[in-house]
Amino acid sequence: MYDKYQEDLNEIMSEVKSTLAVKINKLVENTFIKIVVCQNCGRLFLKHRNAEVYCNKIAPGYTDKTCKDVGYNNKVKNNPELKAYTNAYRAKHGRDKRHRRKEGLL
Ligand SMILES: [Zn+2]
C-alpha cells in the first residue's frame, strides 16, 4: 500500500517539477538560463550547456559522486543496446588515444 502512495507521490512531484521548469523557462525566455529536471535524481538544476541532462549535486545513494559522474553509467546499466554502443565507443576512443600517443601527438 505504502509503495503505491509513494509511486503516486513521485509521479505527482515529477509532474510538478516539469511544470515548474517550463514556467520558469518562460519567465527567462530571452536569457541563456534554462532550468531542467535532472534525469538521474529528479531535482531541478540550472542548465549551462545544451547537452546537459544531469545536475552537479551529490547523487542519491552516493556520498562523493555527483549525478554527472553516475547518471550516464546508471542509464547504460539498464539498456543493453546503449551498453554495447558505449563499450564500442570507449574501445575506439582508447585505440585512437593509444595511436595518437604512439605517434607522439599527445
Ligand atoms: Zn541530479
Give the residue extent of every domain in the chain. 2-102
What is the model's pTM? 0.61
- pLDDT value, residue 33: 75
Residue 25 CA to ligand 1 center (angstroms) comes to 18
73 Cα–ligand 1 center, Å: 13
Distances from the Cα of 26 to the Cαs of 44, 53, 79, in angstroms? 15, 19, 33
List the grid coordinates of 32.
541563456
44: three-class secondary structure by DSSP: strand
Centre of ligand 1 from the C-alpha of residue 3, in Å: 22
* The residue to which cell 534525469 is assigned: 39
d(CA 62, ligand 1 centre) in Å: 11
Rounded CA gap, 47 and 45, in Å? 6
Q: pLDDT value at position 1?
A: 57
Q: pLDDT tens digits, residue range 22-50?
A: 888 887 777 777 889 999 999 999 887 78
Distance 56 CA to ligand 1 centre (A): 6
The pLDDT, as a whole number, for residue 78 is: 84
- Within 13 Å, how many C-alpha atoms sit on residue 89's CB side? 7
Give distance in angstroms: CA of 5 to centre of ligand 1.
Answer: 23
**CA dihedral over 39, 19, 47, 9, signed as positive or negative:** negative
| Stretch 65-70: mean pLDDT | 93
Convert the pLDDT of each residue in 44-67 to its tens digit. Answer: 998 877 889 999 999 999 999 999
- Report residue 21's pLDDT band, with 50, 70 and 90 as the boundaries: confident
Q: What is the pLDDT of residue 2?
A: 66
